[in-house]
């Protein structure tokens, strides 16, 4: 079973506990259809705007076994209020540059 670390938006923590992220990861659905069910090794926020802490937090999860970094859909898709993160591409691209070889990025969850 693949291990993943999930990054979420700090701005939406007070309106979403992330239950659907856990559900689709556990069941291998939606963004996890290709991987099948995954084990979540970390579920951390970006640290707040503009998301610079997400880079170190992604690395921390990789150091603890994550084979993929997943952006929860609150970031890229703006769930649940339809307001995507304006810093998503910067976070994703910076993390991708710094990740170890073999660690993949999944850009959404549900
Ligand atoms: S940087 Fe993006 S993901 Fe992080 S708190 Fe701000 S809006 Fe949310």
Tell me the per-residue pLDDT of 5-33, one tens digit each, with 9 for 90 and over.
999 999 999 999 999 999 999 999 999 99
- The Å distance, Cα 94 to ligand 1 centre, comes to 15
**Mean pLDDT to the nearest integer, 55-81:** 96
At 26-64, the pLDDT tens digits run 999 999 999 999 999 999 999 999 999 999 999 999 999
Residue identified by tokens 């701005």 is 11
- Assess contact for 92 and 26: CB atoms under 8 A: no
Give the binding-site residues of ligand 1, using a 6 Å CB cut-off: 9-11, 46, 48-51, 75, 85, 87
pTM, two decimals, is: 0.96
- The Å distance, Cα 65 to ligand 1 centre, comes to 24
Q: In sequence order, what are the beta bridge partners of 8?
A: 45
Q: CA-CA distance, 37 to 98, in Å (whole number)? A: 26
pLDDT confidence tier of residue 92, bands split at 50, 70 and 90? very high
In this structure, the residue with its CA closest to atom 3 of ligand 1 is 9
pLDDT of 36: 98
Each domain of the chain, given as residue ranges in start order, spans 3-40+51-68+85-106
In this structure, the residue with its CA closest to atom 2 of ligand 1 is 85
Closest CA relative to residue 58, chosen from 74, 42, 73:
42
In this structure, the residue with its CA closest to atom 8 of ligand 1 is 9
């Amino acid at each position: 079973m693949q291990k993943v670390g999930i990054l979420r938006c700090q701005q939406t923590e007070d309106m979403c506990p992330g239950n659907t992220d856990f559900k689709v990861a556990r069941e291998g659905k939606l963004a996890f259809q290709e991987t099948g069910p995954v084990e979540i090794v970390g579920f951390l926020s970006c640290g707040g705007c503009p998301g610079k802490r997400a880079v170190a937090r992604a690395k921390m999860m990789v150091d603890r076994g994550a084979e993929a970094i997943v952006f929860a859909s609150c970031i890229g898709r703006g769930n649940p209020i339809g307001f995507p993160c304006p810093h998503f591409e910067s976070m994703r691209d910076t993390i991708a540059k710094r990740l170890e070889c073999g660690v993949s990025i999944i850009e959404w969850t549900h």
